[in-house]
Chains A and B, each alone.
Chain A
Amino acid sequence: GNSVTQMEGPVTLSEEAFLTINCTYTATGYPSLFWYVQYPGEGLQLLLKATKADDKGSNKGFEATYRKETTSFHLEKGSVQVSDSAVYFCALSVWQAGTALIFGKGTTLSVSS
């Protein structure tokens, strides 16, 4: 079956530190991979995505590379800010009629100044 495993949080960093949030997946077929971010009290926003192996998604200084050989899609940012504090969800989809996203459990990031 399809599943997503994320590193458990919370992750606590100081401003300007380097961020890595690990995500690995199990999937049949050829999934697309996504990172969503949820700020406190809000819905989910798409952060970045990659639709095939070796693609790199990037947005707002975050990036993740679709690694088929290691079935991973780790999220990275070189210098985090306090405003990056949020919950980050890794997700996959194998697109068929009506197929929805499979989410990881989320990783809470807290950045202090």
Chain B
Amino acid sequence: SQTIHQWPATLVQPVGSPLSLECTVEGTSNPNLYWYRQAAGRGLQLLFYSVGIGQISSEVPQNLSASRPQDRQFILSSKKLLLSDSGFYLCACSPGNTIYFGEGSWLTVV
């Protein structure tokens, strides 16, 4: 079965600083990969998904970007963080018809 690793687990970043969240997947090949965000008191928002290396689709226009340099690696980035970027970021993969989530990364922008 697949395992999803996310890091860092928590981070506190100042406004205007860059961001890099990393996600790697084990136990499957050529999965669909996703980044979701869960803001405090709100539901889950799909940010990006990828069906293959270098293929990224964005669901919500914002100052975030995603990249997939390898089959099982998915990176969420920002050049300049905003306060509104604070939240819980979840990486997910679907090797088949079910989506599995990582443990998440807590981001606080101050």
Q: Which residues of A contact B (CB under 8 A)?
A: 32, 34, 36, 42-46, 49, 51, 89, 93, 95, 97-98, 100-101, 103-106
Residue in A42, A45, A95, A103 whose beta carbon sits within 8 Å of that of B97 in the complex: A95
B49-A42 in contact (CB<8A): no
Known A32-B97, A43-B101, A46-B100; judge A106-B43 contact (CB<8 A).
yes
Tell me the bound Cα distance from A100 to B101 in angstroms: 12
The answer on a CB contact under 8 Å between B42 and A105 is yes
CA distance A105 to B43 in the complex (A): 4
Contact check, A45 vs B42: say whether CB atoms are below 8 A apart. no
Q: Are B42 and A43 in contact (CB under 8 A)?
A: no
Considering the chains assembled together, what is the distance between the CA atoms of A45 and B32 in angstroms?
17
User: Number of contact residues on B: which range applies?
Assistant: 20 to 34
**In the complex the two chains form, is B46's CB within 8 Å of A100's CB?**
yes
Residues of B at the A interface (CB closer than 8 Å) are: 6, 32, 34, 42-44, 46, 49-51, 57, 59, 90, 92, 94, 97-104
Give every chain B residue within 8 A of A46 (Cβ-Cβ): 98-100
**Chain B hits for A89, CB < 8 A:** 43-44
Contact A34 B51 (CB under 8 A): no
Tell me whether B43 and A45 are in contact (CB under 8 A): no
What's the minimum C-beta distance from B22 to chain A, rounded to whole angstroms? Answer: 15
Asked if A34 and B44 sit within 8 Å, CB to CB, the answer is: no
